[in-house]
Structure 1
Amino acid sequence: MTRMLAIANQKGGVAKTTTVASLGAALADLDVSVLVVDLDPQGCLTFSLGHDPDQLESSVHDVLLGEEEIANVLLDTDDNVTLLPATIDLAGAEALLLMRPGREYALKRALAEVAQDYDVILIDCPPSLGVLTLNGLTAADEVVVPLQCETLAHRGVGQLLRTVNEVQQITNPGLTTLGAVATLYDARTTHSRDVLGDVSDRYDLPVLDPPIPRTVRFAEASASGTSVMRGRKNKGANAYRGLAENLWKHWEAGTPVQTFDTA
């Protein structure tokens, strides 16, 4: 059965795209077939996986509007994951979709055509709570929230969880919130743990294990057009490998995801 996981947080700069790219590559290294979906008009995931959004003739924009078959738009990547790319055209799709009935189901309908070809589909939602994010949440089985371990990290989390609750009531009753993925984590300070503990207590949101440490390797990987999983071993890649193994064990064996003790 294909697992569809949305990565969502309307706050920017929380390593959301990095999480999708790195987690996808880590799962692929476990011989899991992975499709990643770029729903951000900025196309950061597309660029991070080695494709220039400005050079693409078709993208998820065309798929959502029914102007192109999804199979004709998918791209291969050096990280052994398949990519449904985004371009700046996607910014216009939001307004066009608003005028269409069943607009929240456009992505779900499109993914249904290829879902049987993949074990896992990861959806990179944009940093907003508009119709594109609603499409991602409506298509997904589960959602995780990347959360930077810095002051004011909780801003927007409550609003996102309210949106998830509304999606559960209206368009996707089966949607489950798995928890938060802690990013930019610094184990040397108590501040990171305090931030996670605050968010966990405030929203009853478990933190998945392991937390993702702060490292310059993520920026270097994005600039090179591959995920942090390629090249020299580093603590960021190791953390995402651990997260991938945690999630895959949860999906395969049906066991609860392992969580990080924020106490």
Structure 2
Amino acid sequence: MNSIAMYSSKGGVGKTAAAVNLSYASSIRGKKTLLCDMDPQGAASFYYRVPIKGKFNKKQFLKGRLKGFIRETGYPGLDLLPAHFSFRNLDIALDIDGQDQLKNIFAVLADDYDVLIFDCPPNMTLLSEKLIAASDQVVMPVIPTTLSIRALAQLMKFFDKIGADRKKLRAFFSMVERRKNMHLDTVKSYRKKKVFFRTLIPYLADVEKMGINRTPVAVSTPGSAATMAYDRLWMEIWKRRVSD
């Protein structure tokens, strides 16, 4: 089972949109995929129109009782573990010394899924640390601006602080506006660095409208530039996992 954390300490960078679209791209490429909505705001669950089933909350989650609360999304090969508002307090409930705590919780799903994608909350906390530890890859969306590049540098330092392997960290440029010289200059300066995937996710109305359509862009606008970009990005992520 390949586990991927979609993570950024900054909000509004296209993290959840990427988690939703990459999980769909994974499933249509034949991978049995589970999207885990770890953000208490529940945006990924909203996009897929998946409400919580039964009495799922942080207590059930920490006991490893996941299978009974996993929901189908309506798309073949793609399931979702919905978020719960009580996840906002997961940091308080987590074991500080249990580095493999989340990895052990999700291990029960190893025979059921090929790919696990975590939509992480936008912060640097104990939950973030444990999601990083539980993931084979950590993928960060970066808007081509100074503050977003700075956030990537801070994440690298965070990796060093918690003893995480920097080799599993990768980034991609998100919400790229080709009409903005700053975006173009930033992409040109950083795109060749090893940490970045080659694929750029453009700033397009198709992605913005996900909140209205509540579907992946490949469903609402098949063949669009956004759809093809997310598919290319997924193939880069998967190829890197296989090659490593």
Q: Tell me, yes or no, whether TM beats 0.5.
A: yes
Equivalent position to 1:216, from 205, 208, 212: 205
Distance 1:189 1:219, change over 3 A: closer
Secondary structure, counterpart of 1:230 in structure 2: helix
Alignment of 1:1-263 (within 5 A): 2-52=1-51, 57-59=55-57, 61-66=58-63, 69-80=65-76, 81-97=78-94, 100=95, 102-167=97-162, 169=163, 176-199=167-190, 206-233=195-222, 234-252=224-242, 254=243
Shifted more, 23-32 versus 103-112: the winner is 103-112
Letter in 2 for 1:239: A
TM-score, normalised by the number of residues in structure 1? 0.82
1:104–1:131 contact (8 Å) kept in structure 2: no
User: Cα distance, 1:241 vs. partner?
Assistant: 0.8
Letter in 1 for 2:201: I
Letter in 2 for 1:71: K
Shifted more, 116-125 versus 78-87: the winner is 78-87
Moved over 6 A (4+): none
Secondary structure, counterpart of 2:117 in structure 1: strand
TM-score, normalised by the number of residues in structure 2? 0.88
Letter in 2 for 1:62: K
Q: % of aligned pairs identical?
A: 24
Secondary structure, counterpart of 1:249 in structure 2: helix
2:137–2:170 contact (8 Å) kept in structure 1: no
User: Cα distance, 1:42 vs. partner?
Assistant: 0.9
For structure 1, list consecutive stretches of 5 or more residues without a partner in the other structure.
256-263
Deviations 1:135-185 (A, max 9, x none): 210101111111012342223222211112233x2xx55x63342111111
Letter in 2 for 1:160: L
Q: 1:79 & 1:241 partners in 2: Cα distance? A: 16
For structure 2, list consecutive stretches of 5 or more residues without a partner in the other structure.
none
User: Cα distance, 1:104 vs. partner?
Assistant: 4.1
Q: 1:42 & 1:20 partners in 2: Cα distance? A: 14
1:63–1:110 contact (8 Å) kept in structure 2: no
Distance 1:237 1:63, change over 3 A: farther
Q: 1:214 & 1:92 partners in 2: Cα distance? A: 33
2:213–2:220 contact (8 Å) kept in structure 1: no
User: CA RMSD of the aligned region, Å?
Assistant: 2.3
Q: 1:200 & 1:160 partners in 2: Cα distance? A: 17
Shifted more, 44-53 versus 126-135: the winner is 44-53
1:210–1:243 contact (8 Å) kept in structure 2: yes
Q: 2:203 & 2:143 partners in 1: Cα distance? A: 10
Between the two proteins, the alignment pairs up a number of residues equal to 242
Deviations 1:170-214 (A, max 9, x none): xx55x633421111112344322322345568xx55321210011
Distance 1:187 1:78, change over 3 A: farther
2:206–2:221 contact (8 Å) kept in structure 1: no
Shifted more, 88-97 versus 187-196: the winner is 187-196
